[in-house]
Amino acid sequence: MDVADALPGWLVRFGASQQAQVGYNLVSLGSTWVTLLGTNVPGVSARSIEGEFSAFIQGGVSATAASISQIGTVASTAQSIRFEAQRGEGAYL
């Protein structure tokens, strides 16, 4: 699916290469990948911080790093941004 549809206002990169597509409810088995996950994906423990979707960002063990980024103005009423990260299997940071 197009990045603009899945993550409006965000850029997706694998290393330095900007990506035009992300997956939808598709998890990689070891390669670099970014996917939009709904809250009920079989076999995946998607932890939506708020709302119904999460961006799932995967960089493989020896694969290129994956990232999402956004440039814009932050509202004066904004308080925080939250994310959850995991390194290796079962070890949340």
- DSSP β-bridge partners for residue 21: 2
State pLDDT tens for residues 45-54. Answer: 555 556 678 8
d(CA 45, CA 31): 19
Q: How far is CA 49 from CA 12, 52, 73, 74, in A?
A: 20, 9, 22, 19
State pLDDT tens for residues 12-54. Answer: 999 889 999 999 888 787 788 898 887 666 655 555 556 678 8
Domain segments of the chain: what residues?
A: 3-69
- What percent of the chain lies above the pLDDT cut of 70? 70
The residue whose two tokens read 């990948």 is 33
Contact 2, 10 (CB under 8 A): no
More confident residue, 17 or 71: 17
Q: Is the dihedral of CA 14, 19, 24, 26 positive or negative?
A: negative
pLDDT of residue 93: 42
- DSSP β-bridge partners for residue 69: 11
pLDDT of residue 47: 56
Q: What is the pTM of this model?
A: 0.71
